[in-house]
Structure 1
Amino acid sequence: MLELENLTVRFGGLTAVNAVSLKVGSEDVMGLVGPNGAGKTTLFNAISGLARPTAGAIRFGGSSILRLPIHQRARLGIGRTFQIPQPLHELTVRENLIVAQRFGTGSVDQRRIDEVLDFTSLADKAERNAANELALTELKALEVAKALATNPSLLLLDEVLAGLETKGKRRFIGMLKELHARFRVGILIIEHDIETISSLCQRVAVLNFGQLIADGTPDAVFRDPEVVRSYTGASHA
């Protein structure tokens, strides 16, 4: 579904993403990990159209999307969340989904919106002000709901679990597993917590200083000495 080939993103003299090649299939739930500043969010930005690659290729469904604007990438099936929730102010939860869906599909399907609200446990909050009346867990769910409303075939989840307490994180992991099965959507998720990645993902890719240093099963990746040195630290070793 998604294929990156020697993808490079530079900002002046800084190489944020360095010749990364990666494939994510429609059935994959894949983790993307690495230390802060490793290039994870920049990689997401390049895929979704927020950052312009310096070199390399991005293909989705077999076709290049390098020159496509953000909304066209969304309409091909790429959904995206952000680490810091970004609700549209002065709009209700439902209105946030309507705006996201119109942007991502070009039309509004109220049945899909109702389905997504119910799935993300936001149905009883649908008419509340999204920016002022939701708790953190609900704001995180809204990020997923906005992306899911656009009928994606691939979800890019940027630290969607960050800041959640243990119980909330477990519920969220369960929701993501059900989402993958029910909506038949591939997932690429940035996450720092090794336990979360290991329970959720079949594959893990590791970035360090913009370079891909590992790609495999969680067990194999988190035992890789280079990964331990660059990311997990001596305590995990």
Structure 2
Amino acid sequence: MLEIRDITIRFGGLTAVNQVNFQMQANEVVGLVGPNGAGKTTLFNAISGLVRPSSGQITFQGRDILKMPQYQRARLGIGRSFQIPQPMHELTVRENLIVAQRFGTGTVDPEKLEELLQLMSLDRKAHAAAAKDLALTELKALEVAKALATEPQMLLLDEVLAGLEVNGKALFMKLLKTIQQSRGIGILIIEHDIETIMRLCDRVCVLDFGQLIADGKPDTVFKLPEVIRSYTGEAHA
């Protein structure tokens, strides 16, 4: 479904992502992990169209998407959330979903929006001011709901569980599994909590200083010496 080939992203003299290669199949749940500054969000930005790579190729559903604007990538089936929730100010929860759905599909389907509101337990907050009246868990739910409103085939979730307490995190993980299984959506998720990745993901890819240093099953990858060193900092002492 998604193929990244030799992607390099530079900002001036800084190489944020360095010749990264990996593939992701439909219905997979893949964790993208690594220390702060490893290049995870930058890679997300390249996939979703916020950043143009310096070199390399990204294909989705067999199509080269590097020159596609963001809305075309969304309509092709790429949805994403952001690490810091970004509700549209002055709009209600429902209106946020309307804008997202129109951006991703070109149309508005009220029935599907109602289903999303209920799925994400936001139906009672549909008329609330999204930027003012939602708790953190609800803002996270709205971020995922906006991504789902675009009717994606693949979700890019950037630390969607960050800041949630233990019970909230467990409920959110269960919800993500339900979404993935019921809708057949592939999920690529950035997450720092290794336990979460172990429980949620089929595969894990590890970035360190912009390079992909491991790709495989979570229980195998997190035992690799190079991965352990990347988290402790010993590899660059």
**TM-score, normalized by length of structure 2?**
0.97
Between the two proteins, the alignment pairs up a number of residues equal to 234
Q: Which residue of 2 aligns with 1:14?
A: 14
Q: Which residue of 1 aligns with 2:166?
A: 166
CA RMSD after TM alignment: 0.9
Q: Which residue of 2 aligns with 1:30?
A: 30
Q: Distance in 2 between matches of 1:201 and 1:52?
A: 28
Q: Distance in 1 between matches of 2:112 and 2:55?
A: 37
One-letter code of the match for 2:100? A
Change (3 A) 1:178 1:10: same
Is residue 2:118 matched to residue 1:92?
no
Q: Which residue of 2 aligns with 1:59?
A: 59
For structure 2, the residue ranges without an aligned partner over 5 or more in a row are: none
One-letter code of the match for 2:143? E
Q: Distance in 2 between matches of 1:199 and 1:233?
A: 25
One-letter code of the match for 2:135? A
Is residue 2:196 matched to residue 1:216?
no
SS in 2 for 1:8: strand
1:45-89 per-residue CA deviation (whole Å, 9 max, x = no partner) reads: 000000010000000001100100000000000000000000001
Q: Distance in 1 between matches of 2:225 and 2:7?
A: 25
Q: Which residue of 1 aligns with 2:154?
A: 154
Q: Distance in 1 between matches of 2:233 and 2:126?
A: 43
SS in 2 for 1:51: coil
Q: Distance in 2 between matches of 1:214 and 1:159?
A: 20
Task: Please list, as runs of the form range in 1=range in 2, the aligned pairs for 1:38-187 lying within 5 A after superposition.
Answer: 38-187=38-187
C-alpha deviation, 1:232, in angstroms: 5.6
One-letter code of the match for 2:94? R
Range with greater deviation from structure 2 (224-233 or 159-168): 224-233
Q: Distance in 1 between matches of 2:145 and 2:17?
A: 29
C-alpha deviation, 1:30, in angstroms: 0.3
SS in 1 for 2:160: coil
For structure 1, the residue ranges without an aligned partner over 5 or more in a row are: none
**TM-score, normalized by length of structure 1?**
0.97
Q: In percent, how many aligned pairs have the same letter?
A: 68
Task: Please list, as runs of the form range in 1=range in 2, the aligned pairs for 1:188-227 lying within 5 A after superposition.
Answer: 188-227=188-227
